[in-house]
Every structure is written in C-alpha cells, then in structure tokens.
Structure 1
Amino acid sequence: MNKTVIIQGSANSFGNTHKVVNYLNKDKKFDVIDLKTKNIGPFEYDFSNANDDFLPLMEKIITNYDTLIFATPVYWYTMSGMMKDFFDRMSDLLHYKKELGRQLRGKNIAMISNSAGNDRRIGFEMPFIESAKYLGMNYLGDTHVWFNNDKIADNAKLSIEQFGNKI
C-alpha cells in the first residue's frame, strides 16, 4: 500500500487551507480528512475523551495510509488549534492505545501551511519534524503557501507543485 491522506485542520472548512488542499489534490490522488467535521476533544490525562472521533479516525488512518500530509493555516505563528489538539491526542497512542500507536512507525509525514503572506516564521515546522522522529515516522518535508487577493500566489503554486512531486 502506498496511499496518502491530507488531514486538513482549519477553523474554516472552505477557506484558504481548503483552496491549498484542492490545488495540491487537483488530480484527486489523495484522500482528504477535514478535522473540522470530527469531534476530537483535547488530550486528557484520564483519557476521558476516548469515545470521541480520534481513536476511530486514527484506526482508519493507520490501516489505510502510508503518508499523512498535514494542512494547516498559520494561526498566531503556529498550527491551528484543532491541529494542535490532534497532535496532542497522539499521546493516547503512547499510553492508552500503545499497540495502535506502534503501527505509526515507518509511515510518512509531510506538512503544508498557509497564510495571507509569505511570512511563516522559522521553526514553524519543528513540531511536525520532532513528532515524526518521536513516533518513528519519516518526515518528507514541508512547504508554505501564501495568497494575493484571496488567490494562491503564483510563486506559491510552484511551491505546491514541487511539494506534491516530492510526496
């Protein structure tokens, strides 16, 4: 299996992140999961959110995909809150559902971010890189996309295409 999923984590299901995902996925090669449509609570030390959508979603992802592309807007210099909750919930896979978490080893992660300008700060990608290392996953890289007048900037389109070819 060599299947890829884009995990979109934006407060607006049809905003700029959606535009970026659609541009990257114009050939419909990848499946897309919109975290906005899922009920995923924050990490709880007592795993009291174990009955929300996170664990079934992770079972689906782990079973069906080798590569996970995280697509997030830049909110306050970092990933979106729902993407952060998703990453925090990976802790469920380290303690509560270890056997499921171990199945992430050897899978791939990549990340695509976007904002109004070409202004992503140095270090934005660090949580994605370090999470991949910690989970035994391969980090394939990242790119940043920006907009001009609500449209993806031409230089950013080239960046998306190069990123897509690398994945």
Structure 2
Amino acid sequence: MSKILFMNTSPNENGNTFRMGTDYLRGLNYDTLQMTDYKIYQYGQVYEDDQINEMFAPITAADTLVIGSPVYWYSVGGMLKTFFDRLYMLPEAETLRGKKLYFFAQGGAPSKEAVDTIKYLITGVCRVTGMKLRGFAVGALELNKMVKPE
C-alpha cells in the first residue's frame, strides 16, 4: 500500500479544489499538504524565509502525489506554477523520480485549449522530474471517472 499525499495548490484551503480532492480520495488513507501553509518565492528571488525545501519532507515521504489545482487564466494556479518553476533548479526535485502522480484541475468549463495547455504542462513536469502520470482530469466529471490511487 502506497503512502498518498494530497497537495491542495489552491489559495483557498477549503474551496472547490480541496473539496474535489477529499471527495476523490474518500475511503483512502492520505495526508494533506496545503500550499498556503508555505511561503514560496518566485524563481530568481532569494529570501531567508523561503520554505520550499520544507515542503519536501511530506513529499519525500509519499509514494503517490495527488495534486489539485484551480484553473486560472487558462492554466494551473500560480502557487503550483511557482512550485514547478522552482523545481527546475532544486536538487530536492530528484525525490520526485518514480513517484506516481494523479493530477486534477477544477474550474468553470475551461476551453479545450486550456485543458491542452494544462496537460502539456503536467506531462512536461513528469518528463523532467521522472514522475509517472497515472491520472489526469479537468473538472468534476472527469475526476469522478479517474482511477483512484492504490
């Protein structure tokens, strides 16, 4: 049995993304990482109170990541995008290699182009980090059909 970590990347800790994730994972044993609990600066900004390295403790402990994001401006939310931007130069990103990823995004009927953009980003992140994409959904209907982590 794998250890599952749900990463809620919405700025609203109890909003639609969180609710969709908890509904999707109902009946499974998992931990939750709220990205709003961490201060993560943009790529290229260096401040002493940056907490991106602290995020890797729960991420490293998990075998499976379930990442939920709102759809903002035709792509994933800024918190997740900043996390992905920062991964590029962090040696801790190596801990993602081999992890299973189930990704979902929620938003008000995003266009086909938005869905294509999000899919392109997520598959690219998996290619670069070595994560294995096991599920991808945009919207509650697709999420309800997505296979659940084991």
The TM tier, using the shorter chain, reads: 0.7 to 0.9
- Whether the 8 Å CA contact 1:43–1:91 is kept in 2: the answer is no
TM-score by length of 2: 0.85
Cα distance in 2 for residues equivalent to 1:51 and 1:124: 30
In structure 2, the residue matched to 1:109 is 101
- Whether the 8 Å CA contact 1:20–1:145 is kept in 2: the answer is no
State the shift of 1:91 in Å: 2.3
State the shift of 1:115 in Å: 0.9
- Whether the 8 Å CA contact 2:105–2:137 is kept in 1: the answer is yes
- Whether the 8 Å CA contact 2:9–2:80 is kept in 1: the answer is yes
State the shift of 1:21 in Å: 1.3
Aligned residues: 148
Cα distance in 2 for residues equivalent to 1:138 and 1:33: 20
Q: Note closer, same or farther for the CA distance 1:60–1:30 as it changes in structure 2 (3 Å cut).
A: closer
Which runs of 5 or more residues in structure 2 are unaligned?
none
Q: Note closer, same or farther for the CA distance 1:33–1:19 as it changes in structure 2 (3 Å cut).
A: same
Cα distance in 2 for residues equivalent to 1:68 and 1:55: 17
Which runs of 5 or more residues in structure 1 are unaligned?
147-155
In structure 2, the residue matched to 1:140 is 134
Cα distance in 2 for residues equivalent to 1:11 and 1:82: 8
State the shift of 1:116 in Å: 2.2
Cα distance in 2 for residues equivalent to 1:117 and 1:128: 19
2:143 counterpart of 1:163: no
SS in 1 for 2:40: coil
Q: Per-residue displacement from partner, 1:72-126 (whole Å, max 9, x unpaired)?
A: 0100110001111111111242xxxx2x332322112221011123645323211
State the shift of 1:163 in Å: 1.8
- Please give the root-mean-square deviation of Cα atoms over the aligned residues, in Å: 2.2
- Whether the 8 Å CA contact 2:5–2:58 is kept in 1: the answer is no
Cα distance in 2 for residues equivalent to 1:92 and 1:141: 26
Q: Percent identity?
A: 23
Tell me which structure has the larger Cα radius of gyration. Answer: 1
Cα distance in 1 for residues equivalent to 2:143 and 2:51: 30
2:67 counterpart of 1:70: yes
In structure 2, the residue matched to 1:4 is 4
